[in-house]
Structure 1
Amino acid sequence: MTDGTVKQTGGAKGGGKRRQVAALPWRGDGAGLEILLVSSRETRRWVIPKGWPMKDKADHQAAAQEAYEEAGLDGKIVEAAFGEYEYLKRLKSGAARLVKVDVYPLKVTGEHATWPEKGQRTLKWMCPVEAALAVQEPDLRDLIARFAGIAVPVEERPAPDQAPTPVRVAFQRLRRRVTALWGRARRQR
């Protein structure tokens, strides 16, 4: 999301948990059920579209907006959160902040050819087991498995990767900026 609005839970200020909203995009049913994951912009790990709550939208509507902005999706979103998970969000300063994410299933009914963050993320439709194993957050992995009605054996659950260091995050940002500038320069020729 782009407006930077942040809501905190529990009345905490500064160091409290922050809350985001996310869409869990899906299509098909039974053996044909698929989940869409997007790569994060900073670390390139697989996640679901998410962002901060929006002042002018209910949380489920904000989650649907994130699905459009990050993946170009339209669909029918559930008004009540299916579940939640927590993750450590790396801040620009390099510090980490615990964020709670409320997840709203989104039955995808359409995909746009262009959208606000096209080119900034990779999108991939996956079967539920593949999607559950692709995400790093154990609670998100369990939420995907529960939504799909599958079990992911404990021995198949990879250990989560360490979060990137502040230097690596800064390098990734610089690489993206150089790539964007290079693309603009090529288009202006």
Structure 2
Amino acid sequence: MVKQKLIVAKAKKGKPIRQVAAIPFRLDAEGKVEVLLITSNTTKRFIVPKGWPMKGKSGKKTAAIEAREEAGVSGKMLKTPLGTYDYWKRLKTRFVKIRVTVHMLKVEEVLADWEESAKRHRAWLSPEDAALLVDEPELGTLVRSIDFKGVAAAA
């Protein structure tokens, strides 16, 4: 509740509200790229792991922590962010616009049991299917823009 009040206060002052996210990906047995989506806590829409900036941690480190907590995956974060997208976050009394900085995570470990496993479902999908299924349109556009061959080689 306190967090929502702070977010609303920031929005009312016209200050940007930011989050960080990870797009986890891996190569399947045939060498094809798969992207991991998870369901949101409440509405069960398909999203990527994301969260609020953490004091004393870089955006890349925070995105890695969120991926482990929300999706049960860890691995190697690529050096530079992929880009950003905006979405409208539903709070109890209003919607606020959020700007999300997205980082790529080459998955090296998939946990069978993780912190939010009781609340979320995971789906490994082709990049094309992931782009179609994510709830936020700008995130879908960002996923479509990824050169996964180049990304996989760089990781």
Deviations 1:120-153 (A, max 9, x none): 011000001110000122211111111146xxxx
- 2:119 corresponds to 1:120: yes
Greater relative contact order: 1 or 2 (C-alpha under 8 angstroms, separation 6 or more)? Answer: 2
- Partner of 1:111 in structure 2? 110
Give me the identity figure in percent.
43
Comparing 112-121 and 122-131, the one that deviates more: 112-121
- Indicate if the aligned counterparts of 1:23 and 1:48 stay in contact, CA closer than 8 A: yes
Pairwise mapping of residues 86-165 of structure 1 onto structure 2 (< 5 A)?
A: 86-93=86-93, 95-148=94-147
SS in 1 for 2:131: helix
Partners of 1:33 and 1:19 in 2: CA distance: 28
Out of 21-30 and 107-116, give the one that drifted further.
21-30
Normalized per residue, the structure richer in strand is 2
Give 1:112 shift: 1.3
The one-letter amino acid of 2:108's match is T
> Alignment RMSD, CA only?
2.6
Structure 1 alignment gaps of length 5 or more: 150-189
Local SS of the residue matching 1:147: coil
The code of the aligned residue for 1:72 comes to G
Larger mean CA deviation between 100-109 and 83-92 belongs to: 83-92
Partner amino acid for 1:131?
A
Partner of 1:79: 79
Q: 1:119 deviation in Å? A: 1.3
Q: CA deviation at 1:62?
A: 0.2
Mapped to 2, the partners of 1:92 and 1:27 lie a distance apart of 36
Distance 1:100 1:59 in 2: 13
Amino acid of the structure 2 residue aligned with 1:134: L
Distance 1:147 1:27 in 2: 14
- Matched with 2:152 is none
TM-score by length of 2: 0.83
Instruction: Determine the C-alpha separation between the residues in 1 that align with 2:131 and 2:11.
Output: 32
Work out whether 1:13 is the aligned partner of 2:10: yes
1:28, distance to aligned residue in structure 2 (A): 1.1
Contact 1:128–1:148 at 8 Å: present in 2 too? Answer: no
CA separation of 1:60 and 1:84: change in aligned 2, threshold 3 A: same
* SS of aligned partner of 1:70: helix
Alpha-carbon distance in 2 for matches of 1:90, 1:143: 21
Partner AA of 1:130 in structure 2: D
Distance 1:126 1:110 in 2: 17
State the secondary structure of the residue aligned to 1:142. Answer: helix
**TM-score, length-scaled by structure 1:** 0.69
Q: Which has the larger radius of gyration?
A: 1
Structure 1 residues 143-186: Cα deviation after superposition (integer angstroms, max 9, x where no partner): 1111146xxxxxxxxxxxxxxxxxxxxxxxxxxxxxxxxxxxxx
